[in-house]
Amino acid sequence: GAPPEPAALNAAQPDPRLRAHLQQVLASLPEDDGATTPAQLSQAMANGADILLLDIRSPGEVQAKGFIAWDRQLRIPIEELVARRAELPEDKATPIVTYCGSGYRCLLVMMMLRSYGYLDVNNLVGGLTGWDAAGYPIAIEP
Protein backbone atom coordinates (compact mmCIF):
# COMPACT_ATOMS: atom_id res chain seq x y z
CA GLY A 1 0.00 0.00 0.00
CA ALA A 2 0.87 3.65 -0.01
CA PRO A 3 3.11 5.00 2.76
CA PRO A 4 1.44 6.94 5.55
CA GLU A 5 1.00 10.67 5.09
CA PRO A 6 4.10 12.44 6.51
CA ALA A 7 3.70 14.62 9.57
CA ALA A 8 3.86 18.36 8.96
CA LEU A 9 7.19 19.86 9.98
CA ASN A 10 7.55 23.01 11.99
CA ALA A 11 9.39 25.34 9.64
CA ALA A 12 12.04 27.39 11.40
CA GLN A 13 11.40 31.10 11.45
CA PRO A 14 14.70 33.00 11.50
CA ASP A 15 15.03 35.98 13.79
CA PRO A 16 14.36 39.02 11.56
CA ARG A 17 17.20 40.96 13.22
CA LEU A 18 19.67 38.14 12.53
CA ARG A 19 18.48 37.85 8.97
CA ALA A 20 18.88 41.61 8.42
CA HIS A 21 22.37 41.50 9.98
CA LEU A 22 23.48 38.65 7.71
CA GLN A 23 22.12 40.42 4.66
CA GLN A 24 24.10 43.51 5.67
CA VAL A 25 27.27 41.44 6.13
CA LEU A 26 26.88 39.83 2.70
CA ALA A 27 26.13 43.17 1.06
CA SER A 28 29.30 44.66 2.59
CA LEU A 29 31.61 42.16 0.88
CA PRO A 30 33.95 43.82 -1.61
CA GLU A 31 33.64 43.00 -5.30
CA ASP A 32 36.51 40.50 -5.04
CA ASP A 33 34.63 38.68 -2.23
CA GLY A 34 37.43 39.47 0.19
CA ALA A 35 39.98 37.39 -1.69
CA THR A 36 43.65 38.25 -1.28
CA THR A 37 46.07 36.47 -3.58
CA PRO A 38 49.48 35.35 -2.35
CA ALA A 39 51.06 38.03 -4.57
CA GLN A 40 48.85 40.76 -3.08
CA LEU A 41 49.63 39.64 0.48
CA SER A 42 53.35 39.42 -0.22
CA GLN A 43 53.34 42.91 -1.73
CA ALA A 44 51.41 44.34 1.23
CA MET A 45 53.84 42.70 3.64
CA ALA A 46 56.84 44.04 1.67
CA ASN A 47 55.29 47.51 1.86
CA GLY A 48 55.01 47.19 5.66
CA ALA A 49 51.22 47.12 5.74
CA ASP A 50 49.65 46.97 9.18
CA ILE A 51 47.98 43.60 8.54
CA LEU A 52 47.10 41.03 11.17
CA LEU A 53 47.47 37.47 9.84
CA LEU A 54 45.02 35.06 11.45
CA ASP A 55 46.14 31.43 11.07
CA ILE A 56 43.14 29.25 11.86
CA ARG A 57 44.79 25.85 11.45
CA SER A 58 45.30 23.34 14.23
CA PRO A 59 48.62 23.27 16.10
CA GLY A 60 49.37 19.94 14.39
CA GLU A 61 48.92 21.50 10.95
CA VAL A 62 51.20 24.39 11.87
CA GLN A 63 53.83 21.96 13.18
CA ALA A 64 53.64 19.75 10.09
CA LYS A 65 53.35 22.39 7.36
CA GLY A 66 54.85 25.58 8.78
CA PHE A 67 53.41 29.08 8.65
CA ILE A 68 53.73 32.50 7.04
CA ALA A 69 56.28 34.49 9.02
CA TRP A 70 54.90 37.90 10.01
CA ASP A 71 55.24 40.11 13.07
CA ARG A 72 51.49 40.57 13.58
CA GLN A 73 49.99 37.11 13.65
CA LEU A 74 47.44 35.26 15.72
CA ARG A 75 47.00 31.51 15.72
CA ILE A 76 43.52 30.49 16.73
CA PRO A 77 42.22 27.15 15.40
CA ILE A 78 38.83 27.55 13.75
CA GLU A 79 37.16 25.33 16.35
CA GLU A 80 38.40 27.65 19.14
CA LEU A 81 37.58 30.96 17.46
CA VAL A 82 34.29 31.62 19.24
CA ALA A 83 35.73 30.77 22.67
CA ARG A 84 38.86 32.87 22.03
CA ARG A 85 37.07 35.82 20.43
CA ALA A 86 38.46 38.17 23.10
CA GLU A 87 41.95 37.71 21.60
CA LEU A 88 40.84 39.39 18.37
CA PRO A 89 41.68 43.08 17.96
CA GLU A 90 39.41 45.55 19.71
CA ASP A 91 39.66 47.90 16.73
CA LYS A 92 37.10 46.61 14.20
CA ALA A 93 38.92 48.49 11.40
CA THR A 94 42.10 46.40 11.84
CA PRO A 95 43.09 44.90 8.47
CA ILE A 96 42.96 41.10 8.89
CA VAL A 97 43.91 38.36 6.44
CA THR A 98 42.78 34.88 7.42
CA TYR A 99 44.53 31.75 6.21
CA CYS A 100 44.26 28.00 6.58
CA GLY A 101 45.67 25.05 4.65
CA SER A 102 43.77 25.33 1.39
CA GLY A 103 41.61 28.45 1.57
CA TYR A 104 38.22 26.96 2.47
CA ARG A 105 38.12 27.40 6.25
CA CYS A 106 39.58 30.90 6.09
CA LEU A 107 36.70 31.95 3.84
CA LEU A 108 34.27 30.82 6.55
CA VAL A 109 36.24 32.66 9.23
CA MET A 110 36.33 35.80 7.10
CA MET A 111 32.53 35.73 7.06
CA MET A 112 32.43 35.11 10.84
CA LEU A 113 34.69 38.08 11.52
CA ARG A 114 32.65 40.31 9.26
CA SER A 115 29.53 39.25 11.17
CA TYR A 116 31.35 40.28 14.38
CA GLY A 117 31.69 43.76 12.89
CA TYR A 118 35.24 43.67 11.51
CA LEU A 119 35.36 45.92 8.47
CA ASP A 120 38.58 44.95 6.66
CA VAL A 121 38.81 41.16 6.60
CA ASN A 122 40.11 39.16 3.67
CA ASN A 123 41.07 35.55 3.10
CA LEU A 124 44.22 34.21 1.49
CA VAL A 125 43.27 32.47 -1.77
CA GLY A 126 44.55 28.89 -1.63
CA GLY A 127 45.66 29.25 1.99
CA LEU A 128 49.17 28.13 2.90
CA THR A 129 49.16 25.70 -0.04
CA GLY A 130 48.55 28.59 -2.45
CA TRP A 131 51.21 30.69 -0.72
CA ASP A 132 53.75 27.85 -1.09
CA ALA A 133 52.76 27.10 -4.69
CA ALA A 134 53.35 30.76 -5.57
CA GLY A 135 56.92 30.39 -4.30
CA TYR A 136 56.69 32.43 -1.11
CA PRO A 137 58.63 31.35 2.00
CA ILE A 138 57.20 29.17 4.73
CA ALA A 139 58.64 29.30 8.23
CA ILE A 140 58.99 26.18 10.36
CA GLU A 141 58.79 26.08 14.16
CA PRO A 142 62.18 25.29 15.72
- Give 139's strand partners: 67
Report the 3 state secondary structure along 127-140.
Answer: HHHHHHHCCCCCEC
Average pLDDT score, the chain: 90
Question: Quick check: pTM over 0.85?
Answer: no
Looking at 100, 111, 112, 121, which residue is catalytic? Answer: 100
Give burial (CB, 10 Å; 0-12/13-18/19+) of 56.
buried
Calpha distance 113→107 (Å, rounded): 10
To the query of whether residue 106 is one of the catalytic residues in this protein, the response is no
Tell me the pLDDT tens digit for each residue of 59-104: 999 999 999 999 999 999 999 999 999 999 999 999 999 999 998 8
